[in-house]
Amino acid sequence: MTPDFDVIIVGSGPAGVSAAFPLVKSGLRVLMMDGGQEAAIAHPTQPFLTSRAKDIDQWRWMVGEDFYALQMREAVSPKLRVPTHDYVFDNFLVANKIAAQNFVAVGSLATGGLSNAWGCGVARLSEAELSEFPCHASDMDSPYETVARRMGISGCNNDDMKDYFGLDAWSQQPIKMDTLHEYLYARYTNRRAKFVPLGFRLGRSRVAALSEDHAGRLACNNSGNCLWGCHRRSLYSAADDLPSLRQYKNFHEMNGFIVDDLIRNGDILSVQGQINRTKERRTFTANKVMLAAGTLATTRLALHALRHEKPVQLLSCPTAAFLFWLPHLLGEPRVSAFGLGQLSFSLTLRNDITAFGSTFGTTGITISEFVRHLPLQRRYGIDLLRGLLSSCLVGNVFLPGNLSTSEAKLRKDGSLFVTGGYNESVPDIMAEAAKKLRKSYWQLGALILPGSFTIGHPGGDIHYAGTLPMRGNPSVCETNAIGELQGLMGVHVVDGACLPSLSEKSHTLTLMANADRISRAVAEQMNVTY
């Protein structure tokens, strides 16, 4: 029996497109499947403050015609309350048969996946951080460069975070900072020695956002619309790579298709599922299948195919968020500016644990997002922030994923059940981080507002990994050095599920580079066969 395709890729997010390029370039017949969800609400085209003052239809993208933002008031992240991002998250859990307890479970059926609504943080892992990968660290060098150059990243700067990120050789110049961040960075530069005892380092954020035009996408114009969607496509989305893939005649797509099972018949793999709109069931066959549906969906598919009902670990990064005020800049006017990370820090904590975080301007974020976290009645919180917010910044903190105790388990009905948890040491580690950050930002002329340092729920980082980890000698539900699933030959895991470790750094670039590395090896392997 001749299969329909050489390789089927399940998912069109960052891992999926990164896996596709080496395969199609090698001449293999590739089919990419995804949920096919697309945006129904147009992104704002004017700067955020201009739209807020003049756009009579702003309610459509701020509240939604079905009052989406109000319906999602309990969602943990502002991204989940933005009407323009409704399509990104819609129906993922139901379609993929996933349920969760004490865990923020998020995924996407959209073309381009979660990269349609991410923070664009990028980082390269060091040799030490790659030590658990069953390949040599140098095997990731070329994939890192290939992916970084394709997606377009900015932030190149000779600062104290240069080596931490390890990306400047392939980066554009930084996007212009706002006045508050410029003030912080100038203070840090002039007082660098004071931060050494605190283990605090500060520098420009490295982000998958353009400061120069690149591959048909336009440079950031500091509109402040980052949270709501960039009509200039300055922020990288995996969907931006699809036009390039479509130029290859051996690349094919199946949009709006939900995969629910994998079956091996002899040397052929069958991918089964249904068309989302019509519910019609279809089966496609291939010699190889690459799972890039997002860690949670990929895990369910793999465990179901293996009929494995024992729990597997699920790595995610404990997180916290905080709001801080720069008294010297009280009364600073609100201006439209880049809405994602402008400065980033690393912080050394007990037992050589490193925390990572970035800081963001408050323009482009509704005041309600801040009021909900203040220890004040809503009315008084609004009054306070109306005068204070233009001189405030917001920050986040990430700890390494090995401090997570979350698990995922296949239930007898074929659904995936996720339970969340943190290591018992996390509250104390976060308390140490909060103390050191208060001291550090006080030295920078900023005050972390009392009560604003808030530890997030497990899974709130949306940095999921490690359920099907790569090992040198994999056991059941583990994968080998090229992501091939033990017990299901020909199925390769290429998204976060196969990462054997999860640092505090942003992990998207690493999972993309790893997908590129795996696909290069698979393409070479298959071309020997053909």
CATH architecture of the region 1-37+91-152+236-311+464-530: 3-Layer(bba) Sandwich (3.50)
Question: Nearest to residue 148, comparing CAs of 126, 175, 170?
Answer: 170
CB atoms within 10 A of CB 53: 10
What's the DSSP call for residue 84?
A: G
Query: Is 24:30 a contact under the CB 8 Å cutoff?
Result: yes
> Which pair of structure tokens corresponds to residue 161?
């975070």
pLDDT in tens, the chain (530 residues): 789 999 999 999 999 999 999 999 999 999 999 999 998 888 889 998 898 889 888 888 888 888 777 776 555 577 778 888 899 999 999 999 999 999 999 999 999 999 999 999 999 999 999 999 999 999 999 999 999 999 999 999 999 999 999 999 999 999 999 999 999 999 999 999 999 999 999 999 999 999 999 999 999 999 999 999 999 999 999 999 999 999 999 999 999 999 999 999 988 999 999 998 899 999 999 999 999 999 999 999 999 999 999 999 999 999 999 999 999 999 999 889 999 999 999 999 999 999 999 999 998 877 666 766 666 666 666 767 777 889 999 999 999 999 999 999 999 999 999 999 999 999 999 999 999 999 999 999 999 998 889 999 999 999 999 999 999 999 999 999 999 999 999 999 999 999 999 999 999 999 999 999 999 999 999 975 44
Please report the DSSP string for 273-342 in residue order. EEETTT--EEEEEEEEEEE-S-HHHHHHHHHHHHT--S-EEEB---EEEEEEE-GGGTTPPP-----S-S
